[in-house]
Amino acid sequence: MEKVGVVTVTYNSEDVFHAFLLDVVSQRHTNFILYVIDNASNDSTLEILSRFKDIRIKLIKNTSNKGVAAANNQGVKEAIKDNCSQILLLNNDIEFSESLFDDLLLEQKQKQCSIVVPKIMYFDKKNVIWYAGGSFNKNRGYLPSHRGFNEIDSGQFDQPIQVDYASTCCLLLKQEVFDDIGYMDEKFFVYFDDTDFLFRVLQNGKHKLWFCPQVAIFHKVGSLSKSFVKNQKKHLFRGDFFLKQNVKNHIYFLRKVGGFYSYLFCVYLLFRNNMRFLFSSRIKKNPSTWYLINRSYFQGWRL
């Protein structure tokens, strides 16, 4: 039975963490270690964890928020040190069946590949797809897109296929992937860390990623990232943190991709970001938001 290192990053995860832990400790595949990397939560996340007296749970407690990429790296390195042959990256805002670990390992073996990802459904709309495979779109600055996004699942994506991109919401990887590709780029505090990592996997060409729709999980989308905020009239706007990280990280990611097209797209993004500020109903119209967007753009050049 292969040893699986399950890596999850927590930061004020109290609303979702108990259900996640129940699903993990209920797995039929018992040879695993759960690495909980806590980024200085100040809610009841660690109190919830303390109720689970399971020797397979290891806590790495950071004294400050190191970001998602750095925290994932901490967990992956500990798993490799503990001789885990498989690394399973999991968000803790998901719920799943007791056979998830076994099912992913079986799919990986059958497909003879290094990386597998399940079908990801919305938790509150269990017949609606969040992810059914993914790819990088050069025309959007290599942004990844989800196949089947927001579609009702009627079996239209039930054929396993090799794909280019997957969210690290739930991703099973052989340990040697990290030997060949390296770890997450810690300059991505949050957002684009998975984009960059999977793009490097694609460029390397040695490791294949398969979408396996026979396996499904349910994602509580947005429950942790808080990418939207409401004003007094209950209108949803993109939060400052989301805007800063996405604007800055897209520029940095394109610089890593390199080439004339990527740098040309960086220049285009300066124009596009300002047009979105002017015309998008999801972006607050005030000087501080305009300044944040443009300051973040130039920060991306300095990363």
Taking CB atoms within 8 Å and a gap of at least 24, the contacts of 182-186 are 183/72, 183/73, 183/76, 183/77, 184/68, 184/69, 184/70, 184/72, 184/73, 184/76, 185/69, 185/256, 186/66, 186/67, 186/69, 186/70, 186/73
- Residue 19, both tokens: 């259900």
Adjacent-strand bridge partners of 90: 170
Cα torsion 117, 119, 120, 123: sign: negative
Predicted confidence at residue 235, as pLDDT, reads 65
Domains of the chain are 4-219 (3.90.550.60), 228-302 (no CATH)
Q: Which residues, including other chains, have CB under 8 Å from residue 130's CB and lie 6 or more apart? A: 120, 121, 122, 146, 149, 150, 219, 221
pTM of the shown model: 0.94
pLDDT tens track for 269-291: 999 999 999 999 999 999 999 99
Q: Mean pLDDT, the chain, as a whole number? A: 95
The string of pLDDT tens digits covering residues 42-95 is 999 999 999 999 999 999 999 999 999 999 999 999 999 999 999 999 999 999
Q: Are strands 115-122 and 209-219 parallel, antiparallel or unpaired?
A: parallel
How many Cβ atoms are within 10 Å of 178's Cβ, its own excluded? 18
Q: What is the pLDDT tens value at each position of the chain, 303 positions in all?
A: 899 999 999 999 999 999 999 999 999 999 999 999 999 999 999 999 999 999 999 999 999 999 999 999 999 999 999 999 999 999 999 999 999 999 999 999 999 999 999 999 999 999 999 999 999 999 999 999 999 999 999 999 999 999 999 999 999 999 999 999 999 999 999 999 999 999 999 999 999 999 999 999 999 987 665 565 555 455 678 899 999 999 999 999 999 999 999 999 999 999 999 999 999 999 999 999 999 999 999 999 999
Separation of alpha carbons 302 and 281, rounded Å: 29
